[in-house]
Structure 1
């Protein structure tokens, strides 16, 4: 399936990270909004599949469809950018300020996109508020409370737990981004990306963008979760853990594994060499 070698994958990571960091704020907001909404849609698909079959693994099998759509369309996931853009900064292809600007606008986009999908989903499963007996409502409330109140009950240990689960999550998510670069064919990219995303979702790890939808959605349905519970006991530590997982476990470790990283020009045939080969 047109396999791409790791050294070329790393070079593409640097280039893609620079391109993302140098996009306009409007592009970041729109791409982030679409990314958040599509991932939220994939989340409700996974919840539905789990509820229909009684098997969490079935939900995990279908969830990666959202991630695949986002990557193939060149949209934004801040969790993926946690691995790409730091490498671009390391290779001096962009700046730290541009990196932070990207993360800020993309996160705002995610929150807006997740909110829009949450509203549309509420209209759909409640028939515009006239039906509150849909089984998915209780399921989302339960998940929302589990992602906040269960950690709160453990105190400091809860913060450590959610932080570790976030690291493990984004190790897999960023590997999904990287694996998508290991093939030049669409089917190859889809297959490669699917594997790490399935791993994280099936094990209940914590993903910041998924939680930007699930927890507020549960709050909309009446979950006993406050704004402070959401941000203090989940969203902030999960964002921090996702950052560590992306930067350290994927970006830095892969970079050090294949260092020194050649410049992009070194990966391309020189004009003189091309002429000689043709002759």
Structure 2
């Protein structure tokens, strides 16, 4: 059977969070770079599909391809880690400092990856800066302004709105990460993670890494958006909302819902080791106990 039970999924979430937090700085930067660039690729694919069909849902259907590549290749997406590493901290496998350091280096990698693709893609659709008639040029400019100036115009309500949309976004994105753990087959993982990502993108929620690409590229193409507008009215509040959505609605809630099963599984492993201890010679007992515990 390909299906992985919820109790086992929780254990995988905690273990994955621990592994991610313990990556080296170079690994975090490189994996973050690739994760950001690949998600930017998927964003332009979705925008192209929407422009060609005039159906936003078509863009949402194809967008998860980037997320699938990131997960299957074991790359880094900080929004997904928001649901995993905090659980490792809760289980005292990772320190709070290590968690924050991991987030910081991955975000830096995302920014670099998104910037590189933004420059290359911008040169592509403008024919090396000589032609601004490509239909996606105006789409990117308008999107960049809508993700910043529209919230700025609303003031405090705009900040609250962007945070709420970010919470809803990463609730789904982190579910996509977790859903990939519910299957042992590649096709099962792809199908399971595709659904939550489609849900978030189709409804226009706010994703920090997507915005690291869309907003700066819109600015490069002429959007009336300043660096302060980008960070104060989108990037920082979206990161906050994404963190809250991932850690609260996916990480902590699944932890509370499945913690009993996790403990039961652990006690079952201890019981099996105890049985083996009674049946095997002392030298092998220590080996088995070490492997199980």
TM over 0.5: yes
Tell whether the 8 Å contact from 1:115 to 1:213 is kept in structure 2 after alignment.
yes
CA deviation after TM superposition for structure 1 residue 263, in Å: 8.2
Cross-structure match for 1:162: 162
Please tell me whether residue 198 in structure 1 is matched to residue 198 in structure 2.
Answer: yes
Verify: 1:22 aligned to 2:22, yes or no.
yes
Spell out structure 1 runs of 4+ moving beyond 6 A: none
User: How much has 1:158 moved relative to structure 2?
Assistant: 0.3
- Call closer, same or farther: CA 1:267–1:66 in 2, change over 3 Å: farther
Alpha-carbon distance in 1 for matches of 2:17, 2:142: 37
* Cα offset, 1:162, TM superposition: 0.3
Deviation digits for residues 42-61 of structure 1 (CA, Å, limit 9, x no counterpart) = 00000000000000000000
In structure 1, the partner of 2:255 is 255
Cα distance in structure 2, aligned partners of 1:118 and 1:266 = 51
Shift in Å, 1:262: 2.5
Shift in Å, 1:259? 2.0
SS of structure 2 residue aligned to 1:49: helix
What is the aligned partner in structure 2 of residue 153 from structure 1? 153
Aligned to 2:263, the other structure's residue is in SS state coil
For the 8 Å contact 1:11–1:264, the answer to whether it is kept is no
Structure 1 residue 128 displacement after superposition = 1.1
TM-score by length of 2: 0.91
Q: Which moved more, 1:262-271 or 1:82-91?
A: 262-271
CA RMSD across the alignment = 1.8
Match of 2:286 in 1: none
Counterparts of 1:144 and 1:136, CA distance in 2: 12
Give the corresponding residue for 2:179: 179
1:136 to 2:112 alignment: no
Aligned twin of 1:38: 38
The Cα of 1:264 is off from its aligned counterpart by 7.2
Change (3 A) 1:226 1:263: farther
Question: 1:11 touches 1:263 (CA, 8 Å); kept in 2?
Answer: no
Deviation for aligned residue 1:130: 1.9
Q: How many corresponding residue pairs? A: 276
3-state DSSP of counterpart to 2:132: coil
Name the counterpart of 1:97: 97
Structure 1 distance, partners of 2:72, 2:39, is: 13
Alignment deviations for residues 222-269 of structure 1 (CA, whole Å, 9 cap, x no partner):
000000100000000000000000010000011111123338755759
User: Which one has a bigger Cα radius of gyration?
Assistant: 2
TM-score of the superposed pair, with normalisation by structure 1: 0.95
Using the TM superposition, give the Cα deviation of residue 94 of structure 1 relative to its aligned residue in structure 2, in angstroms.
1.1
C-alpha spacing 1:265/1:122, structure 2 compared with 1 (3 Å): same
Matching of residues 69-108 of structure 1 within 5 Å: 69-108=69-108
Counterpart CA distance in 2 for 1:99 and 1:216 is 27
Does residue 209 (structure 1) correspond to residue 209 (structure 2)? The answer is yes
Unaligned runs of 5+ in 1: none
CA distance in 2, matches of 1:117, 1:10: 35
Whole-angstrom distance in 1 between the partners of 2:265 and 2:212: 36
Listed one character per residue, the Cα deviations across residues 66-117 of structure 1 (whole Å, up to 9, x for unaligned) are 0000000000011000000000011111111110010000000000000000
Q: Which residue number corresponds to residue 228 of structure 1?
A: 228
Cα deviation 1:198-239 (Å, max 9, x = unaligned): 000000000000000000000000000000100000000000
